[in-house]
Amino acid sequence: MAYDVLRYYVGPPVMIASTTVLVQWLTLWGCDFTQEWSIYGNEYSWKVVGALLLWAYLSLIIPGKEYLGPTTPFGYTPRYKANGLQFFVVSLSAFCYLLYQRPFTALEITYNFTHILASCNVLAFILCIYLLLKGKMYPGSSEVVQSKPFIYEFYRGMEIHPRILGVDVKQLTNCRFGLLAWELLVVNFFVASWILNGFSWAHFVSAALQTIYLCKFYWWETGYFSTLDITLDRAGYYICWGCLVWVPSFYTYSSYYLVTHPSLVNNNAAWLIFVLGFLSILMNYRIDWEKQHFQNYKGKCRIWAKQARYIEATIKTATGTRKSKLLISGFWGCARHLNYVFEILAAIAWCLPGYGYGIWPMLYAYFLTVLLVHRVFRDEEKCSDKYGVYWTKYCQVVPYRLIPYIF
Ligand code: NDP
């Protein structure tokens, strides 16, 4: 009973209030910027947010290859646009060209950052309210939505794969708005710092690592459609507000911080950081790739030069049962979530150029560690429900969660 009260009535409002206030606080006062702020943003910020949203939306409605995501237990197969890498390359090139041609400047965007976040916030709240009403009144698929307290429904979302104006909402908010905003802001803050403080290799390394990471994301975007964000999380405050506001603010925070606090890290250390970060990104990609490759070939493939080994499972669906496989070769035979470890190491690497300024520039790395450790348990709960005894068997064969022989 007490757990239910906490989960349904206390947790959601506390999370909503604290995250909304935190992003504005950090960017307003957290790094000595004295910026003006209004709860709605300003004309400039609405132009920026409107342009980004329109661009993101256009990328999903132009004709092109489609990708079918994993079918839900209720038999719904979501459709996505498979043009992630092209979208990333064109967007980044256009942004760099515009920064060079100066119809707007990196400093303008930096000085209006809190307004931009305020506009993102308004947009995200409107969207989440709409998603709640849509999920309650006319859900788009046969996905069963159990009635829960209103604030919980708003926070966790109602539908798994809602579509608006012909596009998948989570592909729009997560892939095309949130992650693109992350990339463009990181480049923007690097240029702003260059203008204000001179060129810094350490800041360059931080921006370069995040660019490589995000390029890798867009290269692998179709793989993202099989992850927890898409298959487990319903479209609501947690995931949609998260991608529209939290990602552009919190994920870019160490880069933003370096604009007013020039990096103290010397060039040799910067290149060491680059090597650490680059290898971590490669490893994270390789581990995700092994699972995707294994799933694409339905187990008939080679991993680490040997025939892939797996546990064959029978899982229940809404219409009966079906076969599935759990990989136990390669990195998926070393630990159940080794990909998260390299994700955290990569994040530490691109925050490290802020070394010497206390916890602030490292906030993203700390947050990500908490998020991913929590996610390990969320994923295991999901897999245990889905695979039952086969998951227990997998955990016996691969006993470590994150780091072999440690945890
Ligand atoms: P995983 O890629 O670890 O996927 C977990 C899912 O994969 C499980 O739910 C299960 O789903 C399937 N699975 C698990 N073990 C096996 C196995 N042995 N064989 C076959 N299938 C298996 O997790 P995420 O979706 O959380 O993460 C994807 C990527 O995104 C990672 O690189 C992660 O680091 C990154 N990420 C980044 C975040 C950020 O904020 N920067 C946040 C979260 C993730 P099923 O059986 O249904 O297929």
Question: How many other CB atoms are there within 10 angstroms of residue 2's CB atom?
Answer: 7
Cα gap 70→306, rounded to integer Å: 27
Secondary structure (DSSP) of 155-192: HH-S-SS-EETTEEHHIIIIIIIIHHHHHHHHHHHHHH
Reduce the secondary structure of 36-90 to three states and give it as a string.
CCCCCCCHHHHHHHHHHHHHHHHHHHCCCCEEECCCCCCCCCCEEECCHHHHHHH
pLDDT for 406: 87
Atom of ligand 1 nearest to the CA of 347: 41
pLDDT of residue 71: 87
Question: What pLDDT was estimated at residue 279?
Answer: 98
Pocket of ligand 1 contains residue 373 by CB under 6 Å: no
Ligand 1: atom nearest CA of 285 is 32
Q: Which atom of ligand 1 is nearest to the CA of 294?
A: 20
> For residue 146, what pLDDT band results from cuts at 50, 70 and 90?
confident
Angle at 252 between CA 113 and CA 206, to 5 degrees: 130
Q: How far is the CA of 361 from the centre of ligand 1 (A)?
A: 27
If DSSP codes are grouped into helix, strand and coil, which group holds residue 310? strand
401 close to 335: Cβ distance less than 8 angstroms: yes
Residue 235: the pLDDT is 95
Going from the Cα of 337 to the center of ligand 1, the distance in angstroms, rounded, reads 8
Ligand 1 lined by 382 (C-beta under 6 Å): yes
Instruction: Give the model confidence (pLDDT) of 6-62 as tens digits.
Output: 888 898 999 999 898 888 777 666 555 556 777 888 999 999 999 999 999 999 999
Ligand 1 centroid to residue 360 C-alpha, Å: 28
Euclidean distance between CA atoms 21 and 136, whole angstroms = 28
According to the model, what pLDDT value does residue 7 have? 86
Q: In the prediction, which pLDDT does 147 show?
A: 83
SS3 for 126?
helix
Ligand 1 pocket test: pick from 72, 186, 213, 228 the residue with the most ligand atoms within 8 Å of its Cβ. 228
Q: Between the CA of residue 199 and those of 184, 259, 336, what are the distances in Å?
A: 18, 11, 41
What residue owns the CA closest to ligand 1's atom 28?
Answer: 227
227 alpha carbon – ligand 1 mean position (Å):
5
Q: Please give the radius of gyration of the chain, using alpha carbons only, rounded to the nearest integer.
A: 22
Q: Is the CB of 174 under 6 A from ligand 1?
A: no
DSSP per-residue codes, 208-241: HHHHHHHHHHHHTHHHHTTSHHHHT--SSIIIII
CB of 332 sitting under 6 A from ligand 1 = yes
Statement: residue 229 has pLDDT above 70: yes
Distance 254 CA to ligand 1 centre (A): 26
Residue 271 pLDDT: 96
Local confidence band at 246 (pLDDT 50, 70, 90 cut-offs): very high
State the maximum Cα–Cα separation within the chain, in Å, rounded to a whole number: 63
Of 68, 64, 69, nearest to 83 by C-alpha is: 64
Ligand 1 lined by 291 (C-beta under 6 Å): yes
Q: What is the pLDDT of residues 352-381, one digit of tens each?
A: 999 999 999 999 999 999 999 999 999 999
The protein residue whose alpha carbon is closest to atom 24 in ligand 1 is: 227
Q: How many CA atoms lie within 13 A of 149 on its CB side?
A: 13
Q: Cα dihedral sign for 336, 338, 341, 342?
A: negative
Within a 10 A sphere around the Cβ of 279, how many other Cβ atoms?
Answer: 14
Exposure of 391 by Cβ count < 10 A (0-12 exposed, 13-18 middle, 19+ buried)?
buried
Reported as a single tens digit per residue, the pLDDT across 280-338 is 999 999 999 999 899 989 989 999 989 999 999 998 877 778 889 999 999 999 999 99
Ligand 1 pocket, 329 CB below 6 A?
no
Euclidean distance between CA atoms 94 and 89, whole angstroms: 8
pLDDT of 2 reads: 80
- pLDDT tens for 89-136 read 999 999 999 999 988 899 999 999 989 999 999 999 999 999 999 999
Chain segment 68-96, per-residue pLDDT in tens: 998 887 888 999 999 999 999 999 999 99
The ligand 1 atom nearest the CA atom of 328: 18
**Cβ atoms within 10 Å of 360's Cβ, excluding its own:** 15
Å from CA of 87 to ligand 1 middle: 24
Q: Using the predicted structure, report yes or no on whether residue 139 has a pLDDT greater than 80.
A: yes
pLDDT of residue 316: 82
Q: What is the mean pLDDT of residues 242-263?
A: 94
Determine if ligand 1 sits within 6 Å of the CB of residue 210.
no
Name the least confident of 25-34, 66-75, 177-186, 198-207. 25-34
What pLDDT is stored for residue 28 in this prediction? 64
pLDDT at 35: 66
What b/e readout covers 3-37, taking b as 16+ CB neighbours within 10 angstroms?
eeeeebeeebeeebeebbeebbebbbebbebeeee
Question: Tell me: the pLDDT tens digits for 249-259?
Answer: 999 999 999 99
| pLDDT, average across residues 203-207 | 98
For the whole prediction, is pTM greater than 0.95? no
